[in-house]
Structure 1
């Protein structure tokens, strides 16, 4: 054999059977990994809604602490440039509470319904089922029910 024949034999490629086996293995790996990546968007929206609820709860706790220091349960509190109206020592359900929590109209639909402030994810398939709801404090027969935050993430 001459040098050219040796080089031709040394530079041989994959056989058709080897290529098919590799493609089948890659297909099996992709089929097992794909379901894990399908719900990433939903998981991200759920985490975002929970973070929004945490931000609303943090604003509520901070402003409540400020009202305890000042001694006035109805005086508006300044939170980084946002004037937050107070009701019974806790933030009201006005849109300024959402602004103080950093929830803007870019990512959230802010809906005020009576004593409830709802921050709904704009990117969710069902925004009403992907929201953080802040309910302002209520006094009933001199019994104070503090403000609370509820999360609904079934439609994220």
Structure 2
């Protein structure tokens, strides 16, 4: 008689159970990409705002408005010291804000941002700490600052 080689049913079941346990414990760590995607989108928004501010500053410098301490409109964008102001008609008009909205106080930590700052977040986002904060220039020597607060970009 020939002896058949192969795996027994018990061995196959044990291997399947081990693979199932690995899938249950390890897969969520690798498959939860939404948080990373939100943070990457905020970094992209920061880059878009930074680029838009640079372009507006260039246009203001060509017109000689880069040292103006009062608000000046440059191609429909309100500027101060050549950079967009922290307002919807400032930085909000300088970049394509279709998927983004001004961050409500629930997103910015329960209180309004100080004067000279504005936050942008996802249009459908309400969790605190998931926005890009734009601070307008306060003098000709100091440009705008952009800060990404992505701590609250986890799933609700």
* TM-score (structure 1 length as normaliser): 0.71
Partner of 2:34: 41
> 2:119 and 2:65 mapped to 1: Cα distance?
26
Any gaps of 5 or more consecutive residues in structure 2? 1-6, 104-111
Cα distance in 2 for residues equivalent to 1:116 and 1:33: 40
Instruction: Answer whether contact 2:65 2:81 (CA < 8 A) is retained.
Output: no
State the 4+ residue runs in structure 1 displaced beyond 4 angstroms.
122-125
Hey, which of these two has a bigger chunk of helix by percent?
1
Count of matched residue pairs: 132
The separation in 1 between residues aligned to 2:48 and 2:56, in whole angstroms, is: 12
Larger Rg, first or second structure (1 or 2) = 1
Structure having the larger proportion of residues in strand? 1
Listed as ranges, the gaps of 5+ residues in structure 1 are 1-13
Q: Name the structure 2 match of 1:77.
A: 74
CA contact (8 A) 1:45 1:124 kept: no
Specify which of 141, 145, 150 is matched with residue 153 of structure 1. 150
Corresponding residue of 1:6? none
Cα deviation, residue 44, structure 1: 0.7
Q: Shift of the alpha carbon at 1:144? A: 3.6
**Structure-2-length-normalised TM-score:** 0.71
Partner Cα distance (2:20, 2:93) in 1 = 48
> CA shift at 1:18, angstroms?
4.9
Cα distance 1:122–1:20, how it changes in 2: closer, same or farther (>3 A)? farther
Q: Which deviations, in whole Å up to 9, do the C-alpha atoms of 1:24-50 show, x marking residues without a partner?
A: 143134132332213x11111111111
Q: 1:1-156 maps to which residues of 2 (within 5 A)? A: 16-30=9-23, 31-38=25-32, 40-73=33-66, 74-78=71-75, 83-96=76-89, 97-104=91-98, 107-111=99-103, 113=113, 114-124=115-125, 126=127, 128-139=128-139, 144-156=141-153
